[in-house]
């Protein structure tokens, strides 16, 4: 665990690198690491006894100098900043409010000078970040960079353990290094362009929520001759855009070429294997997009804002590309094995492949948990706009989300857009979480097909170590004995599928209104088939010369 001073230094070094020059601090004990770090880093530290006045000073300073930072101790001290932060929020002034806090063990037990600081400013800051005492220095820096990108006041609450400082303790102040700005600046884009031109083995990684830059990303990949490691949640593989896409990344990693540069657009990839592979690479990682997603804390640079402009600027260098054919050959070999595995029977991989392969839906909403993972592994074809709720990755509200997608058509801004035939693929637990969404879809009268994989519980837990625990079934699998079809029949027409041919026939029918397709599969059999399929795909990839 990083020391108090290391964590405080990581935050303030990031703020310094992002343009903060002055720190307005009010005296107190718990904020000692922040005050000492400001001194060590050579920031212009100004001590003001009155927190309220200090906040307004920071507000005025931010309008001329750039972002200003506030520091105070724990308890009610930060409450005196509220009027200034209200004004900063109303005008978009960039004030970074750093409150020191007591550790978790001191909360909610009546410890002196301890209040709930995580919600101290409510709606009057644009973003709030909590950094518990267990945070590493690398994590603290990452969060500080994200706070810097907020177009207005941001709150960082840092918990420090006792002793807050040990006599004689110092830390090595890091040398200044470029930090992200609130908007991509020309030097940032130029640096990316230069890095791309130097690269001989670069790759793109496309995650969920591409923010409308699909065509620019595909265009850049085609110009550069780079593969796009395309997570299913990105929707690229179902978009109809011609691009050098790699779909089956999870099962070819052991044989994939090592890139010398990674440019990731969108959120973190779905599967843990791909996440860990990217985190272990020595290649520089650049992130493009309006939000920072870097849980491995290893990104070299982040260009906030829409990624389209940066992607359009990328041009190839003089060095020839050599490894794209191997990426595509590995993907093709693994894909053939996975296609063969889903060519018979009725199990979860077949449902995922069939749901995306049908042309009946213009939009397909895919649930988190196993559905998005099965789609990522087994579905490589289809022509539909894919939507996912992969921000917090919850399984709730999916039917309602799909109803909204169907209602708004293909994103038309017309007063009464034509509803778009939509499919939502989810499990039985997710279906139970949003029964009211089924009622809403009926009331809206949208063309929506709800495909429920009825496997009797939370199947994803069967792939985790907890599956070996005696309490697994009762506490984690939570087997469902609810008659999904009977519940759905109270609201919409229901088709129950237990055979492969019936699944394809049902999916190929036009979507004219609300309907529910309950696909009953054996959970344990699906787990065996999935593992066998992945092993066959890995073997196929290993055979590629």
Whether residue 533 lies inside any domain: the answer is no
Rounded Cα–Cα distance for residues 145 and 142 (Å): 5
Please check whether residues 130 and 27 belong to one and the same domain.
yes
Peptide bond preceding 163: is omega within 30 degrees of 0, i.e. cis? Answer: yes
Rounded Cα–Cα distance for residues 363 and 422 (Å): 5
Please check whether residues 311 and 373 belong to one and the same domain.
no
Please check whether residues 317 and 220 belong to one and the same domain.
yes
- What are the angstrom distances between the C-alpha of 392 and each of 179, 268, 368, 387, 389? 26, 12, 10, 14, 7
Whether residue 339 lies inside any domain: the answer is no
Please check whether residues 220 and 125 belong to one and the same domain.
no
Closest by Cα among 376, 174, 370, 201 to 274:
376
Burial (CB < 10 A; 0-12, 13-18, 19+), residue 483, is exposed
Whether residue 300 lies inside any domain: the answer is yes
- The pLDDT value given to residue 349: 96
Q: Which domain CATH number covers 425?
A: 3.40.50.970
Please check whether residues 352 and 486 belong to one and the same domain.
yes
Q: What angle do CA 271, 275, 281 make, to 5 degrees?
A: 145
Please check whether residues 418 and 490 belong to one and the same domain.
yes
Q: Which domain CATH number covers 217?
A: 3.40.50.1220
Whether residue 542 lies inside any domain: the answer is no
Closest by Cα among 166, 174, 143 to 156:
143
- The pLDDT value given to residue 183: 37
- The pLDDT value given to residue 292: 78
Please check whether residues 385 and 499 belong to one and the same domain.
yes
Please check whether residues 141 and 252 belong to one and the same domain.
no
**Greatest CA separation for the chain:** 76
Report the run of H or E that residue 16 belongs to, with start and end.
helix 4-17
- The neighbouring-strand residues paired with 246 are 229
Closest by Cα among 408, 428, 432, 412 to 420:
408
The answer to whether residues 426 and 395 touch, using CB atoms and an 8 Å cutoff, is yes
Whether residue 443 lies inside any domain: the answer is yes
Closest by Cα among 158, 156, 133, 100 to 3:
133
> Which of 323, 358, 387 is the last residue before a domain boundary?
323
Q: Which residue has the tokens 């940032």?
A: 188
Q: Please state the domain count of the chain.
A: 3
Q: Which residue has the tokens 């040398």?
A: 175
The string of DSSP letters for 223-285 reads HHT--EEE-GGG-GGGS-----EE--GGGTGGGSPPPSEEEEESS--SSHHHHHHHHH--S-E
Whether residue 105 lies inside any domain: the answer is yes
Tokens of 425: 């693929």
**Based on C-alpha coordinates, what's the Rg of the chain?**
26
- The pLDDT value given to residue 411: 45
The pLDDT tens digits for 371-394 are 999 999 999 888 899 988 887 777
Whether residue 317 lies inside any domain: the answer is yes
Whether residue 444 lies inside any domain: the answer is yes
Tokens of 310: 């940066």
Please check whether residues 194 and 152 belong to one and the same domain.
no
The domain in which residue 42 lies consists of 4-159
In this structure, what is the dihedral angle of CA atoms 471, 461, 425, 532, given to the nearest 10 degrees? -130
Please check whether residues 267 and 219 belong to one and the same domain.
yes
- The pLDDT value given to residue 302: 87
Q: Which residue has the tokens 């207005």?
A: 152
Q: Calculate helix-pair angle for 4-17, 32-40, nearest 10 degrees.
A: 50
Q: What angle do CA 40, 43, 47 make, to 5 degrees?
A: 100
In the 8-state DSSP scheme, what is residue 124? G
Please check whether residues 368 and 517 belong to one and the same domain.
yes
The string of DSSP letters for 33-63 reads HHHHHHHHTT-EEEE-S-HHHHHHHHHHHHT
Report the run of H or E that residue 538 belongs to, with start and end.
helix 523-542
- The pLDDT value given to residue 462: 58
Tokens of 522: 């054996």
Please check whether residues 286 and 224 belong to one and the same domain.
yes
In the 8-state DSSP scheme, what is residue 470? T
Q: How many helices (H) and strands (E) does the chain have?
A: 19, 18
Rounded Cα–Cα distance for residues 439 and 419 (Å): 17
List, for the chain, all residue ranges whose pLDDT scores fall below the cut of 70.
Answer: 1, 178-187, 408-417, 457-469, 471-480
């Amino acid at each position: 665990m990083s020391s108090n001073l290391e964590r405080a230094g990581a935050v303030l070094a990031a703020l310094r690198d992002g343009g903060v020059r002055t720190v307005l601090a009010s005296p107190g004990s718990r904020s000692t690491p922040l005050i000492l770090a400001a001194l060590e880093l050579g920031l212009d530290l100004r001590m003001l006894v009155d927190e309220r006045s200090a906040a307004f000073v920071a507000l005025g300073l931010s309008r001329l100098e750039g972002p200003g930072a506030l520091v105070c101790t724990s308890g009610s001290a930060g409450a005196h900043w509220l009027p200034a932060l209200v004004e900063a929020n109303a005008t978009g002034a960039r004030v970074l409010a750093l409150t020191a806090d007591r550790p978790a063990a001191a909360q909610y037990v009546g410890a002196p000078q301890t209040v709930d600081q995580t919600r101290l400013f409510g709606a009057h800051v644009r973003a709030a970040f909590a950094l518990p005492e267990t945070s590493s220095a690398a994590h603290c820096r990452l969060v500080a960079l994200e706070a810097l990108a907020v177009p207005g006041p941001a709150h960082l609450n840092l918990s420090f353990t006792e002793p807050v400082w040990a006599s004689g303790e110092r830390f090595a102040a890091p040398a200044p290094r470029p930090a992200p700005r609130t908007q991509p600046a020309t030097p940032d884009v130029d640096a990316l362009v230069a890095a791309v031109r130097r690269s001989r083995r670069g790759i793109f990684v496309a995650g969920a929520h591409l923010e409308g830059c699909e065509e620019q990303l595909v265009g850049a990949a085609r110009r550069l001759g780079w593969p796009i490691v395309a997570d299913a949640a990105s929707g690229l593989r179902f978009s109809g855009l011609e691009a050098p896409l790699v779909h089956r990344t999870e099962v070819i990693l052991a044989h994939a070429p090592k890139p010398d540069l990674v440019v990731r657009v969108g959120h973190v990839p779905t599967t843990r294997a791909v996440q860990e592979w990217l985190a272990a690479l020595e290649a520089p990682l650049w992130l493009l997009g309006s939000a920072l997603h870097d849980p491995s804390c290893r990104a070299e640079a982040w260009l906030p804002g829409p990624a389209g402009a940066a992607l359009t600027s990328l041009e190839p260098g003089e060095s020839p590309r050599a490894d794209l054919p191997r990426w595509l050959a590995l993907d093709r070999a693994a894909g053939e094995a996975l296609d063969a595995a889903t060519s018979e029977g009725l199990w979860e991989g077949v449902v995922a492949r069939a749901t995306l392969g049908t042309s009946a839906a213009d939009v397909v909403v895919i649930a988190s948990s196993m559905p998005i993972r099965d789609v990522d592994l087994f579905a490589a074809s289809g022509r539909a706009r894919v939507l996912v709720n992969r921000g917090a990755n919850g399984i709730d509200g999916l039917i309602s989300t799909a109803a909204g997608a169907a209602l708004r058509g293909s994103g038309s801004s017309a007063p009464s857009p034509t509803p778009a035939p939509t499919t939502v693929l989810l499990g039985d637990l997710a279906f139970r979480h949003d029964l009211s969404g089924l009622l809403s879809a009926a009331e809206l009268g949208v063309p929506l097909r709800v495909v429920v994989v009825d496997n009797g519980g939370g199947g994803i837990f069967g792939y985790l170590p907890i599956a070996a625990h005696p309490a697994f079934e009762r506490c984690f699998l939570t087997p469902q004995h609810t008659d999904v079809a009977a519940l759905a029949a109270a609201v919409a027409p229901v088709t129950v599928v237990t055979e492969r041919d019936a699944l394809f026939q049902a999916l190929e029918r036009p979507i004219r209104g609300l309907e529910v397709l309950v696909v009953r599969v054996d959970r344990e059999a699906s787990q065996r088939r999935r593992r066998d399929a992945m092993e066959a795909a890995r073997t196929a990839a290993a055979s590629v010369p």
